[in-house]
Chains A and B, each alone.
Chain A
Amino acid sequence: MSNKSTMEFQSNKDFFSRVNLFVQTHTALMAVIIAAILFVATIIINPRSFNLVAIGNIVLLTVILSIPAAGQTMVLIGGGMDFGVGAVMSATAILTTYTMRGENGHFLPVLLISIAIGVVVGFVNGFCSVKIGLPAMIVTMAIANIVTRLQYILTQGVLSGTASPLLAATVKFKIGGVIPHVAVYALIIWPLVFYILNKSRFGKQLYLVGNNPAAAKLTGIKVDKVRIISYIFSGVLAAFAGIIGAAYMSTARCQIFDGYAYDSLIATIIGGTTFAGGSGSYAGSIAGSLVMVLLSNLLTSLNLASPIRNVLNAIILVLLLMLYNRGKAVRQ
């Protein structure tokens, strides 16, 4: 009897360890599975939420979140962390609405200035955290604060201007009534990021730098340069995401996208990129973005009071983190 129960326990343990192994080796797939569970849960709870408009919105928000998550993935792989993506997104969103003021024909200057902002902020972030050696989290946060203050000085806290109709149409217009046009942006950016991370020389160097900086240095890689470039990519991608976000929201107030700093970080972590650096994939980050969007979608469709929604959100986030992002035990 006791023998049998031990065996059962043994097989149980096998099952759990196999699940654990699967989770740890297939993080991106796991994120997709979680996303699917969340989506099915949403439909079961509220069948009316299964419609084309809702699906279109999910695609749109996922694409917007996946762009700063791309930059975050690069920085995390290189062993850093970027808390400035939210502030950069808000800044370029405000820049977009303030420059366009609802007229067409300002897209190119807005794009160029935004990218310049992204490069400058990314470079300062990278330089301060890599060359000067300040803790990445604190220094990117301090710079994000300064960017936020600049937004207030520029706007004086007043809401003004809208994105141009053409830009808004390129984001919101739905092909066949289902897939929003923003998917076109995704078709440009996603392959580009995949190429940078997996095929280009920079991507290979970045993985090695994150994995083992000393070895990377010995092979002749300029470690600091690679890391700073990863921050610059993060700044530029966030700047671009800000323009698309402005087109989606039409108007932009200060700090509108600040939450994307944490959201992109959590999406990237759920997608299997680790704080330690050197591992992770962009496919995982896209799946993680999908999980974040579906999670907030689920909580909205539950139709709860906002404090209870906050509590639920926290509990689910902690559970997600517990699933496969625990540190190593001291005793092994």
Chain B
Amino acid sequence: MKSIGASFRRFRRKPAFTGFILFLVVLLLNIIVQGWSQCLSKGFSVGNALAFFQPTSLNSIFMSNMPFILVTIGQALLLLVGQMDVSIGVQIALVNVVCIMVPQQTGCPTWVGWLVGFAAAFAISALAGVCCSVLRLPSLLATYAMTFLIQGINVLIMAVPQGVVPRAYWKPYQSTVYGLFENPPSFLKFLDYIPVAALVLIAVLLIWHFFSRRPFGKHIYAVGTNQRNAFAAGINPVSTQMKAFLIKGFFVGVAGICLTLMSASGNPLQCEEYGIKSLSAAIIGGMGWGGWGSISCGVFGGGFLVLIQNAVYYFFTLLSKLFNGFAVTSYWHNFVSDIIIFGGLLMTLVTAREQRKTLQQGLKSQFKRGEKNVK
């Protein structure tokens, strides 16, 4: 019991605590609203009350929002080293366009297109890194300018939305693990609750885990907090930031492929708003500007934004079922979810203040203990 309390206290000092609490609240809200709404229309039962956890509902949430969550993770990584990229949204559109057009124009297999898409993601991220880190331009304005560049390239590659992806590719991504089997044995039924898209997220997080264990994982914090001090300590700030941009390029590549599999077609002018949305998601998740936060902040922040939109949608369906004749346009959905996102931003302050306090107390107690030992 004591160890649980101790580990909770330790978790409370972690940057991801803010985002985790907000994520938990909105998850509960989502479960209640969706379950209630389902019970009203289909009669009360335990299955309907937990409608959120039904395989189709879970799967559609994971599948359609995986690109955004991956983008938020990339954005969180950049924020850690004190940079940002508002062109990250159009970058995944670029990967999408390349993945569709390369097989379509050259007749090569789809996976070659994916490799070229990854290469494009790395190249464009490296370019953004050169502008922000090597040339030291203000990253907000430089990457905003790059939004024009990438959108121009997208339209040059693909003028209008078009293209198809073979069914053999998008079908597995859009199904659950259980759905992958031809004739599944019934004792594996629990696998129906694991969407394939969730496995993508887990794989990406494992790859990040590998990076964070290397010296690079410490360097990003040093560089993000103070470049000059990091340099004095023998860390090359430019190369660390470039590495961060390249790893972000990997996340963008995966996100772009998820986007391609999700829509099974190409659109050169989509996802532009992801750039700014992912920034606020990362901040809601508990990121600071440089040196404060972790990748899990990105996961929770992205999850928060995704679940808010879902919850607001079911909230209005619930209202229309509770009160006959209640109907609003989707503009109201967006308005309410934006108000809640703003509320989430204000909430980070309350939780972050708590965090800072605990952090300071922790530092102070260590300091005092040190003094005592000296005496």
The interface residues of chain A lying within 8 Å CB-to-CB of B339 are 146
Main SS of the interface on chain A? helix
| 9 pairs, CB–CB < 8 Å, chain A vs chain B | A134-B283, A137-B140, A266-B141, A269-B138, A314-B146, A314-B147, A317-B145, A318-B142, A330-B231
> Which of B138, B152, B228, B349 interacts with A314 by CB under 8 Å?
B152
Binds B, one of A54-62, A151-159, A177-185, A191-199: A151-159
The interface residues of chain A lying within 8 Å CB-to-CB of B140 are 137
Give CA–CA (A330, B134) in the complex, Å: 11
The interface residues of chain A lying within 8 Å CB-to-CB of B334 are 149, 152
A5 within 8 A of B: no
B177 within 8 A of A: no
> Which of A153, A265, A326 interacts with B137 by CB under 8 Å?
A326
> Which of A139, A262, A327 interacts with B138 by CB under 8 Å?
A327
Closest to B133 in A: A327
Known pairs A307-B154, A310-B152; list 5 more (Cβ under 8 Å): A134-B346, A142-B338, A152-B331, A311-B156, A321-B142
B149 within 8 A of A: yes
Interface size class, chain B: 35 or more
A145 within 8 A of B: yes
B111 within 8 A of A: no
B330-349 residues at the A interface, CB under 8 angstroms = 331-332, 334-335, 338-339, 341-342, 345-346, 348-349
Closest to A320 in B: B145
Give CA–CA (A311, B135) in the complex, Å: 19
B155 within 8 A of A: yes
Provide the B261-287 mask, 1 if CB < 8 A to any CB of A, else 0. Answer: 000000000000000100110010000
Give CA–CA (A328, B135) in the complex, Å: 10
Interface residues in A, total, Cβ within 8 A: 44
A311, B145: Cβ atoms closer than 8 Å = no
A309, B345: Cβ atoms closer than 8 Å = no
B331, A141: Cβ atoms closer than 8 Å = no
B131 within 8 A of A: yes
Provide the B49-70 mask, 1 if CB < 8 A to any CB of A, else 0. Answer: 0000000000000000000000
Give CA–CA (A128, B349) in the complex, Å: 10
Closest to B127 in A: A318
A142, B335: Cβ atoms closer than 8 Å = no
User: Which of A132, A135, A150 has the most chain B CB atoms closer than 10 A to its own CB?
Assistant: A135
Give CA–CA (A239, B338) in the complex, Å: 22
